[in-house]
Amino acid sequence: MNITQLLFWLLTVIAIGSALMIVTSKNPVYSVLGLIVTFFAISGHYILMNAQFLAIVNIIVYAGAIMVLFLFVIMLMNLSRATETLKNKWLQIVGAIAGSCLFLVLIAALKNTEIKKNLVEMGTGDIGLVKSLGRELFTTFVVPFEISSVLFLSAMIGAVVIGKKE
């Protein structure tokens, strides 16, 4: 077993363990922290597949910005034992049945795919590298890239104008 396989399995165990922590944790803050660990483990998988740009975007956008937003919402909701609603056993049973059905559908969909026969070549090629992505953005797709930058700039200016007090 080489170091890449060992790292893959370590990241997989971390991702599955933290995903289970998200679902089983009774404290919503611990669930958010488990989600952050899951995002970092998935970013590690992206790096193993030579997709550094996806890994960095996953860490910055999801593990950074989205998780801070989740934490603010959870803290503003002020969840406590006094405000917790009574849990309906029927609702839990229906949720378990729906989750099991979704799991069975996913297994059936993946059972006969051709993808399982193809192995991922880790560390080869330059498709996911930031260097090749930048080269494509600033040569082949320079006009759409600049148009999208003007669109983002106008959206930022619009947000400032809307948020400005009279």
Summarize pLDDT for 94-125 with one digit per residue, the tens: 888 998 999 999 888 877 766 655 655 555 66
Of residues 152 and 85, more confidence is placed in 152
Question: How far apart, in whole angstroms, are the C-alpha atoms of residue 96 and residue 98?
Answer: 5
Element (H, E) at 71: helix 67-77
Where helices occur in the chain by DSSP H, the ranges are 3-24, 28-48, 52-57, 67-77, 89-111, 130-139, 142-163
Q: What pLDDT was estimated at residue 94?
A: 83
pLDDT mean over 150-156: 90
Q: State the pLDDT at residue 20.
A: 92
Q: What is the pTM of this model?
A: 0.63
Q: What is the mean predicted confidence (pLDDT) over 36-60?
A: 90
Q: Exposed e or buried b for every residue in 7-44, given b needs 16+ CB within 10 A?
A: ebeebeebbeebbebbeeeeebeebbbbbbbbbbbbbb
Mean pLDDT of the chain: 83
The dihedrals phi and psi of 125, each to the nearest 5 degrees, come to: 80, 175
What was the pLDDT predicted at 62?
A: 86
Residue 13: predicted pLDDT: 96
**Confidence at residue 21, expressed as pLDDT on a 0 to 100 scale:** 92
The answer to whether the Cα torsion of 120, 123, 127, 128 is positive or negative is positive
Tell me what pLDDT residue 16 has. 95
Q: What is the DSSP letter of 115?
A: G
Task: Tell me the pLDDT tens digit for each residue of 55-88.
Answer: 998 999 888 888 888 888 887 876 655 555 555 6
Tokens of 85: 């609603």
